[in-house]
A = this chain, B = another copy of it.
Amino acid sequence: MVDLSVKIGDLTLQNPVTPASGAFSWEYADIIDLNRLGGLVAKTICREPRFGNPTPRMAETEAGIIQSIGLPGKGINYFLENIVPEYKKFTPPLIVSCSSEDPEEFAVLTKELSIPEVDVVECNISCPTRNTTGGNFSLNSEHTKSVVGKLREATDKPLWAKLSPNAGDLVSIALAAEEAGADAVCIANTFLSLKIRTDNFKPALGNKYGGMVSPALKPIVVRMVYQCAKEVKIPIIGIGGITKAEDVVEYMLAGASAVGIGYAGFRNPSALTSIIDDLEAWCDSRGIERVSDLIGAVDDDMEMDTLNAASAGV
């Protein structure tokens, strides 16, 4: 039987499969056994209550969806009093995602969240729909470094930084997060998108822009994880387009130590636990003893002679 556990810094996850922030809540216990997950990742919370963005908040696209929720929530107090206890009914580590447009407030929020019940603070510095130009710190390595540095000072908890796929040079952003003291980077949040309806010439979402989510995007994010894994030393949580155990394997081969899953749980609410089952079966059938052996195990030593390559069979 394969050992599915992975380590993210000092924290051990019983397996590498976690839900993605915003795509999960304790309410999924209505259908799956949350105690089987690698971690419990709460929806990004903000310090003050927020309504979030205007509806419609989701539109289907050619292949996937764009969505713009706008981080609605009842604020930190409600979260600590009412939501944390819900998660604490389950055993996997609690990873709390949080966000703010103001670095000072962000640090205070991080500090307030650093209670014993919380195992990891994940800073969402990449929500594409809050502010498409500034504020989204992880579009810029200086901003990333400065905000992550402030949060690092504010907490002793493991600090994970969730990065944006909309940044051009993601490697430099990941390096900045590492340098500023992040214990892990989550790659990636959603792709900034726009859908315009041709019937009424209006944007399809209430907030105009939305973040795209789709299995289609997996090869782009796998590339980002691979590039970053070559440069940073801290663990990477790969997030984007995972719908089956082999996708988890692919992310791990590229260099991820764990993964986050959103869309698949929308499409198939029983997906997360079945992906864990499948991952176990996949490893066992291949005689893999520790799933952590897959991390970065891509065989990327390539034949680079075009003519040789093109004389091989299909």
Check A66/B192 contact, CB under 8 A, given A203-B300, A246-B198. Answer: no
Tell whether A305 is near chain B: CB-to-CB under 8 Å: yes
Docked complex: A166-223 residues within 8 A CB-CB of B: 166-169, 191-196, 198, 200-203, 206-210, 212, 214-220, 222-223
How far apart sit A3 and B264, CA to CA, in the bound complex (Å)? 45
* A299 adjacent to B201 (CB under 8 Å): yes
Name the residue of chain B whose CB is nearest to the CB of A204: B219
The smallest C-beta distance from A170 to any residue of chain B, in angstroms, reads 8
Asked if A52 is at the interface (CB within 8 A of a chain B CB), the reply is: yes
Answer yes or no: A61 CB below 8 A from chain B CBs.
yes
How many copies of the polypeptide does the oligomer hold?
2
- A200 touches which one: B168, B206, B299 (CB < 8 A)? B299
From B63, B303, B310, give the contact of A215 (CB < 8 A). Answer: B63
- Tell me if A302 is interfacial: C-beta within 8 Å of chain B: yes
Partner of A219, one of B194, B198, B308: B194
A83 to B: closest C-beta gap in Å: 21
A196 touches B70 (CB 8 A): no
- Tell me whether B63 and A198 are in contact (CB under 8 A): no
Do the beta carbons of B55 and A312 come within 8 Å of each other?
yes
A85 at the interface (CB under 8 A from B): no
Docked Cα-Cα span, A219 to B195, in Å, equals 6
Beta-carbon contact of B302 and A206 below 8 Å: yes
Interface residues of A in 70-120 (CB under 8 A from B): 70
A-B CB proximity, top 9 nearest: A168-B168, A54-B309, A63-B216, A216-B216, A193-B219, A194-B223, A62-B215, A63-B63, A51-B306
A and B contact pairs by CB, cutoff 8 A, 23 listed = A51-B307, A52-B306, A54-B302, A55-B312, A62-B214, A62-B215, A63-B63, A139-B168, A167-B168, A194-B219, A194-B254, A195-B219, A195-B250, A196-B226, A198-B249, A198-B250, A201-B253, A203-B302, A206-B302, A207-B302, A208-B302, A210-B219, A212-B219
